[in-house]
């Protein structure tokens, strides 16, 4: 039987000086918003700091995280974009439906 869960992979890049507490606060905001959409974060992976090939918002490197989510219904990517755009320490993100 096919799994009916809708799954997303979200790559979030924080400014290099962002501490883990600030990142966790951002994830808590995401998690509470996702719960209203009947979706949850099932796995978080911290990939560490990586250098960019070009400057992004005047930064040479960033702190990378990958979040795996699944839920009962699809999430509007535009709404998630608004949430992540409002976070000052998030310098780049990518949302993929898997």
Is the pLDDT at 1 greater than 60? The verdict is no
Kindly state whether residue 52 falls inside one of the protein's structural domains.
yes
Kindly state whether residue 49 falls inside one of the protein's structural domains.
yes
Give the mean pLDDT of 57-78: 93
Kindly state whether residue 60 falls inside one of the protein's structural domains.
yes
pTM: 0.90
Domain of residue 58, CATH code: 3.30.70.60
pLDDT computed for residue 11 by the predictor: 96
Note the pLDDT tens digit of each residue in 16-56. Answer: 999 989 999 999 999 999 999 999 999 999 999 999 999 99
Q: What 3 state SS string does the chain have?
A: CCCCCEEEEEEEEECCCCCHHHHHHHHHHHHHHHHHCCEEEEEEEEEEEEEEEEEECCEEEEEEEEEEEEECCCCCHHHHHHHHHCCCCEEEEEEEEC
């Amino acid at each position: 039987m096919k799994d009916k869960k809708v799954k997303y992979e979200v790559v979030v890049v924080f400014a290099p000086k962002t501490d883990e507490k600030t990142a966790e606060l951002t994830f808590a905001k995401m998690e509470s918003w996702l719960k209203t959409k009947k979706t949850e974060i099932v796995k978080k992976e911290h990939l560490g700091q990586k250098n960019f090939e070009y400057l992004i918002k005047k930064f040479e490197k960033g702190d990378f995280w990958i979040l795996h989510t699944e839920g009962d219904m699809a999430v509007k990517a535009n709404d998630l974009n608004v949430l992540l755009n409002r976070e000052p320490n998030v310098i780049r993100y990518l949302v993929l439906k898997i």
